[in-house]
């Protein structure tokens, strides 16, 4: 770095998790000109981290840390340390002298979906709505290619507000996604609301987070990935950041109001089309949807393979 005597042996280091907000002058040659990315660990890295953190506990010989690493894409070192600690605590609560795979599975669910809230009582009507909602997600995911495998479907409330959840766990780290895969993700996200409409001829507020996630994906497809047929292969820069002295003005856009209107139209078109895809799948497999919802209502949680078996049996019949 400029301004230091090269012979005095001083190394100046800095770290940030928001590189996009740094002044470019800070990063030019002669300043902080050597940049080292500390990224999230890949599958092998996660397995190595799990081995380090599991040295202090007794784990069953059947525990496969490589499998657990495959279940935790996106986890950082702190997440994995928390996972091992959570699994050990669960083993103690279950009066076991070893941590088994079941504890690791449950710990992964706790971290991804939140703590179970079995004391959160919901009435029978809402339980039925949640059951169909979650089975709707799962059934659409099982019917479309390129979606993450369905691991579990549950109507046990978890976390702050979730009344149920469908747990999908990727089998590998992904760095690229195709347009068809993104569209299928949107269809899966909208599958819960589609199931409610088909079964009850009405929709609930339970799809709030699903709608937000689906809209975010669709908007990114249009504005960032150039996946709009009408707008073509173009990137619309995100809204520029406000200056350091915020004058209360709305953020500036790099496109006209007319273009913003087209963007909104294209986003809505994508969402409408994928909602129709979800409804078509669930209407076609409405008997599987009914059987799956009944099973979830009876047992509260089922493995994704059981719903897949119901679907396969119906398709073979």
Q: Which of 103, 109, 134, 196 is catalytic?
A: 134
List, for the chain, all residue ranges whose pLDDT scores fall below the cut of 50: 244
Rounded to 5°, the CA angle 105-107-109 comes to 75
d(CA 243, CA 225): 27
Instruction: Give the per-residue SS3 of 68-100.
Output: HHHCCCCCCHHHHHHHHHHHHHHHHHCCCCCEC
Question: CATH code for 43-112?
Answer: 1.10.8.60
Looking at domain 124-316, its CATH superfamily turns out to be Peptidase M41 (1.20.58.760)
Please name every residue paired with 303 in a beta bridge, in sequence order, or none if there are none. 152
φ/ψ (deg, to 5) at 7: -105, -5
Distance in angstroms between the alpha carbons of the first and the last residue of the chain:
72
- pTM score of the predicted model: 0.82
Per-position b or e across 11-48, b if 16+ CB within 10 A of its CB: eeeeeeeeeeeeeeeeeeeeeeeeeeeeeebebebbbe
The ranges assigned to domains in the chain are: 43-112, 124-316
Q: What is the pLDDT of residue 12?
A: 80
* Contact yes or no for 139/311 (Cβ under 8 A): yes
| Pairing status of strand 150-154 against strand 301-303 | antiparallel
Let me know if 134 is a catalytic residue: yes
Q: What is the pLDDT of residues 53-85, one digit of tens each?
A: 999 899 998 999 998 998 888 899 999 999 999
Q: How many CB atoms lie within 10 A of CB 315?
A: 10
How far, in Å, CA of 125 to CA of 251, rounded?
A: 44
3-class SS of residue 250: coil
What is the tens place of the pLDDT at every residue in 189-247?
999 999 999 999 999 998 999 999 999 999 999 999 999 989 999 998 665 555 545 55
The pLDDT score that the predictor gives to residue 272 is 97
φ and ψ at 102, to 5 degrees?
A: -60, -40
For residue 173, the model assigns a pLDDT of: 79
What pLDDT score was predicted for residue 240? 52
Q: What is the pLDDT of residue 261?
A: 93
> CA 214 to CA 267: how far, in whole Å?
10
Containing H/E element for 152?
strand 150-154
For the chain, how many helices (H) and strands (E)?
10, 3
- Residue 225 CA to residue 235 CA, distance in Å, equals 7
Bridge partners of 159, per DSSP, are none
Give whole-number Cα distances, 114 to 4, 96, 111, 240, in Å: 50, 23, 6, 35
Say how far apart CA 251 and CA 307 lie, in whole Å: 47
């Amino acid at each position: 770095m400029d301004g230091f005597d090269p012979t005095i042996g001083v190394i100046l280091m800095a770290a940030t998790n928001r590189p996009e907000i740094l002044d470019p002058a800070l990063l030019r040659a002669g300043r902080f000109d050597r940049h080292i990315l500390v990224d999230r660990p890949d599958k092998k890295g996660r397995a190595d981290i799990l081995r380090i953190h599991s040295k202090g506990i007794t784990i069953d010989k059947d525990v496969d840390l490589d499998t657990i690493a495959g279940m935790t894409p996106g986890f950082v070192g702190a997440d994995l340390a928390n996972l091992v600690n959570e699994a050990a605590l669960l083993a103690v609560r279950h009066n076991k002298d070893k941590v088994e795979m079941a504890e690791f599975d449950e710990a992964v669910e706790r971290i991804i979906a939140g703590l179970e809230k079995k004391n959160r009582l919901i009435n029978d009507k809402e339980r039925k709505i949640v059951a169909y909602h979650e089975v709707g997600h799962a059934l659409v995911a099982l019917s479309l290619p390129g979606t993450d495998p369905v691991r579990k479907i549950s109507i046990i409330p978890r976390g702050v507000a979730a009344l149920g959840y469908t747990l999908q766990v990727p089998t590998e780290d992904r760095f690229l996604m195709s347009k068809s895969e993104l569209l299928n993700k949107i269809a899966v996200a909208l599958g819960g609301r589609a199931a409610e409409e088909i079964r009850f001829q009405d929709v609930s507020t339970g799809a709030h987070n699903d709608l937000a996630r689906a809209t975010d994906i669709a908007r990114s497809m249009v504005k960032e990935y150039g996946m709009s047929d009408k707008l073509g292969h173009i990137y619309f820069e995100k809204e520029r950041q406000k200056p350091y002295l915020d004058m209360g003005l709305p953020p500036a856009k790099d496109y006209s109001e007319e273009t913003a209107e087209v963007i909104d139209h294209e986003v809505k078109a994508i969402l409408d089309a994928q909602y129709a895809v979800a409804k078509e799948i669930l209407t076609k497999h409405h008997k599987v949807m009914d059987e799956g919802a009944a099973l979830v209502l009876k047992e509260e949680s089922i493995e994704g393979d059981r719903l897949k078996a119901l679907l396969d049996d119906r398709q073979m019949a």
